[in-house]
């Protein structure tokens, strides 16, 4: 069953995309059923994917375990796992400082500069080239507005704009 609670702009964006995905799958667009089915822990019903299946697919596409996980992170709920939305595997091409705790990450950022980003339950301190690799602009004033800390931003409106830009990168041309 689809969530009926009021959600903010980022979660609403994903809900809208799930509606579009469901309509496109119903029209028989190639490969969409396989994409939706691959994101599920259960077989799709004979009548085609339900909205919850499409929400799950969209959430996984942008780095979350489930729709509720995506909604909680994007609504800034108190979560310990922030998913992989702000992560991209560099295969060692870009070095980052990895931290097990947020306190350690804040301390490392204070001494080395950079940006604090989450990866599931961990944190990384990255530099401008990594931010560019995510498809974002490290010189965007919103980074300064959030204190270069995506985990505990000083300005939630700026955090929302940065996060929306990241969603743009992950969802460009999809579905």
pLDDT digits (tens, 9 = 90+) for 114-153: 999 999 999 999 999 999 999 999 999 999 999 999 999 9
116 and 62 share a domain? no
CA separation for the pair 126, 98 (Å, rounded): 9
Q: Does residue 106 lie within any of the structural domains?
A: yes
pLDDT at 72 over 80: yes
Q: Does residue 115 lie within any of the structural domains?
A: yes
| Domain boundaries, position 140 | 97-153
Of the three residues 19, 41, 74, the one that is the final residue of a domain is 74
15 and 61 share a domain? yes
Q: Does residue 13 lie within any of the structural domains?
A: yes
**Are the beta carbons of 166 and 160 closer than 8 angstroms?**
no
Rounded to 5°, angle at Cα 166 from 160 and 167:
90
Q: Does residue 163 lie within any of the structural domains?
A: no
Q: Does residue 56 lie within any of the structural domains?
A: yes
Half-sphere exposure in the Cβ direction for 19 (13 Å, CA): 8
CA separation for the pair 141, 27 (Å, rounded): 42
Query: Total structural domains in the chain?
Result: 2
Averaged pLDDT, 36-49? 92
Residue 1 DSSP code = -
62 and 104 share a domain? no
- What pLDDT digit, counting tens, does each position of 44-61 carry? 998 899 999 999 999 999
Helix, coil or strand: residue 166? helix
Select from 34, 64, 60 the least CA-distant residue to 48: 34
CA separation for the pair 106, 100 (Å, rounded): 11
pTM given for the model: 0.92
């Amino acid at each position: 069953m689809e969530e009926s609670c009021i959600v903010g702009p980022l979660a609403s964006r994903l809900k809208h995309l799930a509606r579009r995905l469901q309509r496109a799958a119903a029209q028989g667009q190639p490969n969409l059923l396989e994409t939706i089915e691959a994101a599920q822990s259960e077989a799709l019903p004979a009548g085609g994917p339900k909205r919850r299946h499409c929400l799950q697919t969209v959430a996984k596409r942008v780095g979350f375990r489930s729709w509720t996980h995506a909604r909680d992170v994007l609504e800034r709920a108190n979560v310990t796992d922030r998913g992989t939305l702000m992560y991209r595997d560099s295969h060692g091409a870009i070095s980052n400082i990895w931290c097990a705790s947020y306190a350690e990450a804040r301390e490392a950022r204070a001494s080395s500069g950079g940006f604090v980003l989450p990866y599931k339950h961990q944190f990384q301190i990255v530099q401008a080239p990594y931010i560019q690799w995510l498809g974002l602009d490290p010189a965007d004033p919103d980074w300064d507005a959030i204190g270069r800390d995506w985990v505990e931003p000083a300005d939630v409106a700026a955090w929302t704009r940065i996060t929306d830009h990241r969603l743009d990168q992950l969802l460009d041309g999809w579905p």
